[in-house]
Structure 1
Amino acid sequence: MAGMIERRVVLTLLAAPAVARAQGFPARPLRLVIPFTSGGSNDIVGRLLAEAMAARLGQPIVVENRGGAGGLLGNDLVAKAPPDGYTILLAGSGSFVISSLTVPRVPYDVVNGFAAIGLVGAAPNVIAVNPELPVRNLAELRDYARAHPPITFGTPGAGTTAHALGAMVALTLGFPIEFIHYRGTAPALTDVVAGRLQMITNAAAPFLPFLASGRLRALAIAGRQRASILPEVPTSVEEGFPEIESATWYGLLAPAGTPREAIGRLHAALNASLEDPGLRARMVENGVEIETSPTPEDFGRFLVTERERWSAVVQRANLRAE
């Protein structure tokens, strides 16, 4: 009996520092890793969240852009960070789910290497072209692309949502496409606007100034509902192509093994931030429809469902990171 009591005391003492750290969490600045270069939709969403959550956590959140490999480099950095809650990841449908389905080997455990924090929301994707391309809708794109193959398409990285949506568009409309992969949305968008590439898809936010100035032309919203920030742009369903449907969602993850108390604190700060009218307005301005998860576990179940859904899309399009 005495030996059992001693062992319990030892185990309690060993657990005490972790519990104390979690209860005092956060006691120093945090790091939010965005797995893309600055200037894209992920960067915009991540920086808005970092500012709002820092105010509620009482500690600064330092944003670190780690672009490359369609998000895998940034994901890997967080997966291998100390599981103490001080390093978190802005995950997305492309950078976290699709990218892991399109490469032969991922350098981290996709299923068990992360702890879910919470869902942020989703942004409908815009299918856009350089205005020199003589097309104004998806049917005209189909006819032009079949007559002038291949269409050159810029992506923020192999295995991203944009890559998958581009493949979906080409497969549905039946034309050849040449993918040019970058380390983020901004450089891909720069080359489309400059006329070096013909086509791009992404959440609306980074496109807005170029659409307003006429340096980029939106053909359709890839979904069933029009975007509130681009109400004049019809949907792929309205244009007769219901198979083309994709939205970019965003959420927060931490390394597996992060204390539950720290996860709970981060989840509460995230949801409280997303309830703030000022942040909600800024998110909507950038094309993000807010959708929170009641618990971290709910977000974890959402990730499982998303992986199953996109796995079917990747297989159908035979999508592979090059």
Structure 2
Amino acid sequence: SGFGALVANYARVLGLTREAGQVVGARIRDEETGGQRDIRANVVVNATGVWVGDLQMASKRVRLRPTKGIHVLVPQSRTGVRNAITLPTKDRRIVFVLPWGDLSLIGTTDTNYSGDRDRVEVDREDIDYLLEAVNAGFPGARLFREDVVSAYAGLRPLIDTGQARESDISRKHKILTDPDGLISVAGGKLTTARSMAEAILRRVETVTLARAYRRASVEASEKAAIYRTALTKGSPLFWSGDSKAIELAAARPVESNGDLAAAARRGAKYEMAIHLDDVFVRRTGLFYELADQGARFAPTVVDAMGAEMGWDAERRASELERFRRILGANRRWREAGREG
């Protein structure tokens, strides 16, 4: 947003609006208030991942084959990994083991998925698959489910190419323009996100006949150096990379437990954090880096956000209950493991 973008969190696209058969915008619903409004645009880009087909014209809908991937985090002391490595799996794939602070990030799986796209969860078979690969590569690690600090799952919006094995499906992306002018992108992966974005903007230029983007005058490496300096002075709580967060981190080093309250207030004031899970999951990442997913700090965060946003006792209780539900869903695989 520091470069001029307007970002709207908790804004659901109910549908596209058209005039003379051409897409001219979208109908948006504020998920917090229920209010609706139409937003107009010269060009609409549909970059909605596994939901991309929901907005396309039926006759032009891209055929996806979503696959589920999970990651787990375990103590770095158990793997000893200080640099990124790859390990083979029994089904002739590879998994990565990456250093992640005091933890090791292990992933990923690649399995077909046909369930609810809004409720993608880790299961114990996913966990066991990754731990087996690491234990085979590092017999001394002796990792068990109980050693997993946290785990999370997501869906890849892969284009169905007719391949039998999930890992054989192409990760290449496609940019499609429907007759109604909607530009959609399907396929791809996180590591190609930057090049995908540039390709989309080049397509936008063919529609608008105007320059859609410009390259930043500051090199990415220079920005990264600034970011690293800020984090060194601050703490992992300034994980979001937002320019305001970097500025605050550099100016006011984080030192103690009160830092989480400060991060929560900053998230509410500058980063459109509306719920507790915004802070724990999407602003600080502590949801995945703490063994209890931040449960013990929830009262601290709810009080800090409540003070910033004027929450009454009822809203604070509601936020704590919402966080408990999210925590329960994320940890459901643990309960399934105990039942098994």
TM-score band by shorter chain is under 0.3
TM value normalised by structure 1: 0.25
TM value normalised by structure 2: 0.24
Q: Which has the higher contact order (CA 8 A, sep 6+)?
A: 1
